[in-house]
A = this chain, B = another copy of it.
Amino acid sequence: MKTEGLLAQRIVNVKSSAIRELLKHSKMENVISLAGGIPSDALFDFEGLSIATHQAITEQPKSAFQYGLTEGSPLLRERICELCAERGVVATAEEVMVTAGSQQALDLVMRAIVNPGDVFVVERPTYLAALQTLELAEANIMSVSSDSDGMVVEELAELLKTQRIKGVYVVPNFGNPSGLTLSAPRRELLVKLAAEHNFLIIEDDPYGELRFTEERNATLHQVSQQVLGHTDNIIYTSTFSKILAPGLRLGWAILPEFLLHKVAIIKQAADLHASALSQSIVECYLGLDRLPGQIEKIRAAYKQKGEILAALVEKELGDHITFDMPKGGMFLWARFRQPFNATEWLKTTLQQGVVFVPGEYFFSDNPDRSSFRLSFATATEQQMQEAVARLRRSL
């Protein structure tokens, strides 16, 4: 068969997720994985999920199994507003679009706003699957660097002097893979720039609740409201994947008014609506008032595991490797003190039985090949000890 010419241009050059390929190795026997960004199912609230599921299918079976509304169930949208309000994201239920994880929110929004060739700015490094949605929308991806205060927004300001941009994608809290958090002054600068230069900000916030301290940063959505008196330029996305259960595939976007109907049309063509059963279960789960306790539990566990991994890396690999102490999230982002190719190193560590994600995959350009990401969410303390010992041996 002549398959030439049968594929669309938008897919020809999109890269598959390197992590996805790596995860195949991670399922091999005796391999300890520090690769995947997968929440620990040892922390799942199976009891609460079971109660909520039972409630959903007995008390509202028709809603759970029948077609629903594209934007999501009205009650769930209300509940999401309440969750958002606690994060300082004030929105009405009409502004909420329930999606199949925040991944779908990103994809729908990119399809709604990005024309081929439109410039979209990301931080270096950034979330891999956001890059994929941008590639599929045929964006012209540009990047600015990041430092210990997160995305270097000053660099963006420089870029804007000569370059019209469509939008910025940023994970302001405990970014994946960097673990970095955007500082308050930069948050303010970013929303001001968006208004001034009329671009959109996608504020992707899957990890905001997983903070290791009591300090909570104002969201860009909130800063925009405070500084500009509106949130017209902000698309806020988040998910139940990291705080409840990713298998439900439920996330959401808070959309500015001009996008609501457009994103709904794309959502309708994309899959009609998110799983009605998952929506019913999360509605019921939120009604049980177990989420706050569950988030506390996850935060405490990840904090402890993050500290353990950091201490191990410091002790065993500190001569060669440096990192910023993560203040939340699931990842430790490390780099070699001297130029060293982490992708090449992975081949050696695989033989030793450890898999991680080389940093270069998280860059749209100018990859830092000496960097790499270690996840502390899934491995046990014992596994982390063994993994770091193996990493040491492979150096």
Contact = CB atoms under 8 A, between A and B. Distances in A.
B66 A46 contact: no
Interface in A231-272: 232-233, 241, 245-249, 256, 258-259, 261-262, 264-266, 268-272
A222 interface: no
Contacts of A275: 100, 247-249, 275, 277-278
A271 B11 contact: no
A111 interface: yes
Contact of A166 (B3, B6, B14, B16): B6
Nearest to A278: B275
Contacts of A350: none
Q: How many copies of this kind of chain does the complex include? A: 2
A292 B76 CA distance: 34
A interface bracket (residues with beta carbon within 8 Å of B): 35 or more
Contacts of A241: 67
Contacts of A258: 1, 3, 6-7
Most B-side CB within 10 Å, residue of A39, A57, A137: A57
A53 interface: yes
A65 B46 contact: yes
B100 A269 contact: no
A277 B200 contact: no
Contacts of A7: 112-113, 258-259, 262
A114 interface: yes
Contacts of A63: 247
Contacts of A137: 8
Interface stretch (A80-88, A101-109, A331-339): A101-109
B70 A271 contact: no
Given A104-B270, A132-B268, A277-B277, A66 B8 contact: no
A269 B132 contact: yes
Interface string A119-148: 000000000010011011100000000000
B113 A66 contact: no
In terms of DSSP, what is the predominant structure of the interface of chain A? helix
B10 A269 contact: no
A64 interface: yes
A248 B137 CA distance: 28
A9 interface: yes
Given A132-B269, A133-B269, A262-B7, A67 B246 contact: yes
A49 interface: yes
A103 B272 contact: yes
22 contacts: A1-B232, A6-B200, A6-B258, A10-B111, A10-B115, A11-B262, A11-B265, A41-B62, A44-B66, A49-B57, A53-B57, A63-B247, A64-B247, A100-B271, A100-B275, A129-B269, A129-B272, A132-B268, A136-B266, A136-B269, A249-B276, A270-B270
